[in-house]
Amino acid sequence: MRLIKFLCTISLLFFAAVSIAQDQKKYDERAEVQTFIAEMVEEDFDQAELTALFAGAIYKQSIVDAISRPAERVLTWKEYQDIFLTDLRVSRGTEFIHENRDALVRAEKEYGVPALIITSIIGVETMYGRNKGSYRVIDSLSTLAFDYPPRSKFFRQELKHFLRLAREEGRDPAEPIGSYAGAMGYGQFISSSFREYAIDFDGDGVRDIWTNKQDAIGSVANYLSRHGWRRNEFVALPASTPSNEARALFNVSLKPSSTVAEMTKAGVTVDENLAGEMTVSPMTLNGIQGEEHWLGLQNFYAITRYNHSKLYAMAVYQLSERLKMSLLASSDY
């Protein structure tokens, strides 16, 4: 009897789960989606077209699972290095530089962002365009906007930006492909970032970060420039091992908030001669070689505006340094 009751309970739970999943897929019938559509109609969107679009939008549990465990929260710096600082990523990055040299040189000249940093961001984000995502953006953003309460407000705004983007760029909103979070193209721009920072770098009249490498390169450079990148300045510098007292100054903030003078007074030094009033962000990372101590500068902070993680920014910076070494070894730098 207990076994029968157990099996009945399991069956009920199974069918309930199926019913919930089916309800989640019918976005156009849900009250909150209808309210959302009404808001977009006020911006002169067509109600019938949006209703049809959301009727075809599909809930994806894998998206909710993925966003609940982003790599920056789960991985250590050592594990991060193992993923993003590989020989394969360096060799493919070197190929990317050779294939797109003209666009990279022009982007560096116009925006002040080094070609190596632009390449590294694209390398970390998508392995130079090989992993640009496999989800329809409409599915990603619908799932997160209406079925992920922790960040539903943010993703409803991104969904609005995506629909505006599609209209502005003349794209069918059912077609663009991206990541589980709705990030798109070589540089993985979310919709609001696309509208604000994506550029038509090759002058063909279209902002295409999905298939046009020139536009992707120019857009990444423009993004970093607009977020405070400083031409010809350092990104991060290795620092001396801090004393126990000085450790209190480390890993406090991504934004540079301690001065070089304060760090020097605390006994923390770097090999470069920096102005005492320059602000830095001291950090300690536990990597493959053990503890690493760094001072992040303004350009390091600019990279964290792309992804709010010191692990991400350090991976981008160190990949750029390895790319430089690869190019030097081949006399191409």
- Dihedral pair phi/psi, residue 93, rounded to 5°: -65, -40
Q: If we measure between CA atoms, which residue out of 185, 83, 84, 93 comes closest to residue 133?
A: 185
Report yes or no: 268 and 246 within 8 Å, Cβ to Cβ. Answer: yes
Q: Are 326 and 260 in contact (CB under 8 A)?
A: no
The answer to whether the CB of 326 falls within 8 A of the CB of 256 is no
Q: Which of 95, 99, 125, 196 is catalytic?
A: 125
Burial class (CB in 10 A: 0-12, 13-18, 19+), 118: buried
Structure tokens of 51?
């209703």
Q: What is the DSSP letter of 242?
A: P
β-sheet bridge partners, residue 293: 284
Residue with tokens 């409409």: 138
Interhelix angle 87-99/115-126, rounded to 10 degrees, is: 130
125 is an active site residue: yes
Catalytic residues: 125
